[in-house]
Amino acid sequence: MTCFANSKRIALFACGAASLSVFGAVAGCAKKKESKGSPMGLGQLLIPVKASAPAALAAASKTASSLTESFEFAAPTELETLKDRFFKEGPNDFMYRLKSVDGRLAELDKRHTTEVARKCVTETPKEWSLSGLPDKSNTLTGTASFWLSCKEVLPQTGGGTLTILFGRKDGTSYLAEIQKAADDTVPTMFVLGKVDDASTKAEVWQVVLTKKSVTDAAKQHTSWLYILGDKANSNFELATGSSAAQSSTPTDSEDPTSGAGCGVRIKASSTLVYGIGRFHDAGTADGRDATAAACNDAEATVCASATDLTSKTAADCDAIKTFSDSVPKITYSQLKGSSPYAGYTKAKAILDLSGLPELTSFTEEAEKK
């Protein structure tokens, strides 16, 4: 996601607020404003995710300072694929993206506490109820609720928008970033998350849609990623899949594709990593045959050390093979369906904020009591 500098924007808001105040005073309708607000107390998504992720994978993310060489070539091929796709610098490095989400919310918190109090922060959160999500039964019947009170819309490169939504309810922080691109300069995607206020357990959805320029329904795909990070219990779970798959020639692949789009789940403790699924978009014959393209090759399982990704026996992972109920099974066939593709239809509805209740803009200042 694109990062934005705050200094000019903060100055603009400050000047706008001052102008409105002066105008209000002349008109005789000025409202007194709170000078500063109290810290919002939002949890941070990255903390529990990074703390619970297998050390050998987490160290490869851009959020880490270096990559430990001891496991560079020791991992089973399947886990090397996941490490390369999701834990190294690039468009799928979800931990780096979570760091950016946390950073932007920290910036909003700073504006609330150092500039002027914001009205939405103390308002009762409203439910944004989502349905039709991937779930553990490999269907699109999952549901999730996000309790939100604030909305901030930032401009994007090329004329798009980044909408930030957040709120708190019953000790849980709910966060969403919806990035709508106006052209192909930034990805079209969204991140949805919830985390306890103490930042010990987080759940995150990250969904990437096709580029803005793709208007052909037969080419409109999505890549879905779900992450559960439980710091207190040293439990990390991940599920990913895509409706796009590698086609018959190496240079002719559909977009977006993660490289593990046929559907993978992993579960990890502090010592072990267990994985099951189709770890490559490609399978036999260098993977780019018709069968592999349709993701019909057999599922594979893997068990490895969480510290260096060296292989373990299947029996070593017996104790961690059960996934949490909230972890979906995401597959190519589930997200694809028929054109328009099921995963894209659902993702586009979320991107368009379908069903979102009316929320107060974060720019609206609180009235002084």
* 45-76 per-position pLDDT tens digit: 999 999 999 887 776 555 543 333 322 323 35
pLDDT at position 91 over 80: no
What pairing do the DSSP bridges indicate for beta strands 142-148 and 150-155? unpaired
pLDDT at position 131 over 90: yes
For residue range 248-286, list pLDDT tens digits in order.
444 445 677 666 778 889 999 999 999 998 876 654 444
Could you tell me the sign of the dihedral formed by the alpha carbons of 149, 210, 330, 61, in that order? negative
Q: Which residue has the higher pLDDT, 3 or 237?
A: 237
pLDDT at position 148 over 70: yes
Q: What is the pLDDT of residue 27?
A: 41
- pTM confidence score: 0.82
Task: Please check whether residue 364 is in contact with residue 241, taking contact to mean a CB–CB distance below 8 angstroms.
Answer: no
Q: What value, to the nearest 5°, has the Cα angle with vertex 125 and ends 120 and 128?
A: 120
Nearest CA to 327 out of 243, 233, 257, 230 is that of: 230
The model's confidence at residue 89, banded by pLDDT at 50, 70 and 90, is low
Least confident piece of the model among 27-31, 122-126, 342-346: 27-31
Q: Which of 29-33, 204-208, 217-221, 249-253 has the highest mean pLDDT?
A: 204-208
pLDDT at position 347 over 60: yes
pLDDT at position 97 over 70: yes
Q: What is the pLDDT of residue 201?
A: 97
Percent of the chain with pLDDT over 70: 74
The model's confidence at residue 26, banded by pLDDT at 50, 70 and 90, is very low
The model's confidence at residue 116, banded by pLDDT at 50, 70 and 90, is very high
Q: What is the pLDDT of residue 5?
A: 38
The model's confidence at residue 318, banded by pLDDT at 50, 70 and 90, is very high
Q: Which of 29-43, 332-346, 354-368 has the highest mean pLDDT?
A: 354-368
- Name the average pLDDT for the chain: 80
Q: What is the pLDDT of residue 366?
A: 92
Q: Which residue has the higher pLDDT, 301 or 15?
A: 301
Q: What is the pLDDT of residue 103?
A: 93
The model's confidence at residue 194, banded by pLDDT at 50, 70 and 90, is very high
Q: How far is CA 274 from CA 44, 107, 222, 247, in A?
A: 26, 37, 25, 28
Q: What are phi and psi of 319, to 5 degrees?
A: -75, -15
Q: What is the pLDDT of residue 308?
A: 83
pLDDT at position 326 over 60: yes
- Could you give the CA distance from residue 189 to residue 66 in angstroms, rounded to a whole number? 28
Task: Please check whether residue 318 is in contact with residue 124, taking contact to mean a CB–CB distance below 8 angstroms.
Answer: no
pLDDT at position 192 over 90: yes
